[in-house]
Amino acid sequence: MKVLCLFFSREVPLAAIAEAFYGYSPQISLRRNEALYVEIEKCRHLYDDDFFLEKAREIAEIFKCATARVALAEDIPTALAFARHQIFKKEKLPIEALADYAFPFGIPESAARELEHLFFTLPRLGLFNLRDFQKLSSGSLTNRFGALGFHLHRALRDSSGLNWPLFRPSEILQEEQSLDDGWRVEDTESIQFVLRGILDRLLLRLRGRGQALRRFELYFELENHSLLREKSYRLHFDLLEPQMSLKTLLSVVRDRVQFELRQKPLGAPVTLVRLQALEMVPWIYAQKDLMNPHKEEKREQRIGVLSRLQIRLGKEAVFHAEPVENYLPESNWRRRDPFHFREIQARDRHPARPLRLLTEPRKIYFQEGFVTIGSRRLKVLSVEDHEILSGGLWNRLFERRYSILRAQDDGGANETYWVFLENQNLFLHGVFD
């Protein structure tokens, strides 16, 4: 067995940090408010010890616990004692390390007082480190130090068979940051700075869980102010494509926050920023395409920019077009999600149509070799039959006779229009631009 231990000298979000390691090993346990253990034996074929030590420090830094102490050992108590005392030889560990051997998942209140008394007595007897304690014969321990003394000695001899208390990731996935008075956050620049850290932590936890972000909420709590109507600010983000890239998410959030704050500025400085994941989807790790390493990067950039455009312009405004079979030219294509392309099923049964189409056919007038389109009067050069379209439901039957009309304006420029005749009226429907 190989155990990685992270020891923290102050209170930290242990469960959140543990989630970040979930991707490496599911065998994780916590020591109340103090330490976190990860069993890494099974993945040592993939990563070496240095990788884990480096990773642990990196993760601790992202969670603003740069002072975390890290150690690797063959069992939980030794890893904890190494990390706590930063002494990496078992025999040289101070006598207080016995407590880590006896109670690796936290000292029960009933034993705390007795331990304190023991650690006061042992140095007076000339026992300063674990080697000194190990030299004592086990037979005399109960008489001299009671049941606790025997328990400590046994734990020190063999601590490999410990049961790992089960660690469960929290149901709600959220990260927040309180902002003290010294840090005034009220514009997008400073909000973005705070968001970067929060997003980084949230993504690390998601990666550990093997999930990607689909929907999330950004919440700002504002400084209490008597004139302030709303003391909080919420923004919902619904991503069409699940995201795991910090760069992409940050740009999506930044643009939206910028846009929203322009419409409705914050009335007071922000005191708390919270980001809560509302919907996650399984994330599939895929091997990068070695032949085309930029493909993945380009895809992410593409998703990022399209998401930003959708947030600002609306979902309908950014799209793939899908041709569909329909008699009406205005209905023979539809807007599709720009992130997922679907094979086109339609078959082309029509002559080449104009590249520009009017949203509504526009009535035009033909008289004595001239056509009038709005305020423009053009000389007709030729009119050519193009196609006849008919169909519709029984109450909406239609028949349109389409023609290609070529005309010339006063300046001599030729225009090619797509017009149709319906109920003796002439309509302009498209332009061969």
Partner 1 sequence: MEAHALTLLELRQKIGAIDGRIPRETHGFRYLQQPIAKGSVVEFAGQGKTELCAHFLSEHPELSVAWVEDEFSLNPYALWQRHLNFENLVFVEAGRDMSWAIHQLLHSQAFDLIVSSGRQWEENELRRFQLLSEKAKSTFFLLSEKPQPAWVQSLQVQTRRDDGGLLQTRILRNRITG
Query: Which parts of this chain interact with partner 1 (CB under 8 A)?
Result: 298, 301-302, 304-306, 308-309, 312-313, 316-323, 329, 332-333, 335, 338, 341, 344, 348, 350, 352-359, 381-382, 404, 406, 408, 413-416, 430, 432-433
State in angstroms the smallest separation of the CB of 249 from partner 1. Answer: 14
State in angstroms the smallest separation of the CB of 377 from partner 1. Answer: 17
In sequence order, the 6+-apart residues with CB closer than 8 A to the CB of 237 are 215, 216, 217, 218, 252, 253, 256, 311
State in angstroms the smallest separation of the CB of 237 from partner 1. Answer: 17
Looking at the Cβ atoms of 40 and 405, the one nearer to partner 1 is 405
> Are 201 and 208 a contacting pair, CB within 8 Å?
no
State in angstroms the smallest separation of the CB of 280 from partner 1. Answer: 25
C-alpha to C-alpha distance for 216 and 402, rounded to whole angstroms: 50
| 265-277 exposure pattern, b = at least 16 Cβ within 10 A, e = fewer | ebebbbbbbbbbb
Looking at the Cβ atoms of 286 and 413, the one nearer to partner 1 is 413
Looking at the Cβ atoms of 110 and 359, the one nearer to partner 1 is 359
State in angstroms the smallest separation of the CB of 378 from partner 1. Answer: 12
CA 273 vs. chain centroid, Å, equals 16
State in angstroms the smallest separation of the CB of 54 from partner 1. Answer: 31
> Are 60 and 17 a contacting pair, CB within 8 Å?
yes
Residue of 220, 315, 217 lying closest to 265 (CA atoms) = 220
Looking at the Cβ atoms of 15 and 244, the one nearer to partner 1 is 244
The angle that helices 188-209 and 49-62 make with each other, rounded to 10 degrees, is 140
> Are 274 and 207 a contacting pair, CB within 8 Å?
no
Looking at the Cβ atoms of 282 and 351, the one nearer to partner 1 is 351
C-alpha to C-alpha distance for 335 and 341, rounded to whole angstroms: 11
| Amino acid, res. 177 | Q
Cα dist. 69→6, 44, 53, 392 in Å?
6, 21, 10, 75
> Are 242 and 253 a contacting pair, CB within 8 Å?
no
State in angstroms the smallest separation of the CB of 254 from partner 1. Answer: 12
List, as one string, the DSSP characters of 45-113: TTS-HHHHHHHHHHHHHHTT-TT-EEEEESSHHHHHHHHHH----GGGSBGGGHHHHH-TT---HHHHH
Looking at the Cβ atoms of 149 and 354, the one nearer to partner 1 is 354
Looking at the Cβ atoms of 89 and 247, the one nearer to partner 1 is 247
State in angstroms the smallest separation of the CB of 211 from partner 1. Answer: 25
Q: 81 phi and psi, to 5 degrees? A: -65, -40
State in angstroms the smallest separation of the CB of 320 from partner 1. Answer: 6
Looking at the Cβ atoms of 231 and 302, the one nearer to partner 1 is 302
Looking at the Cβ atoms of 31 and 308, the one nearer to partner 1 is 308
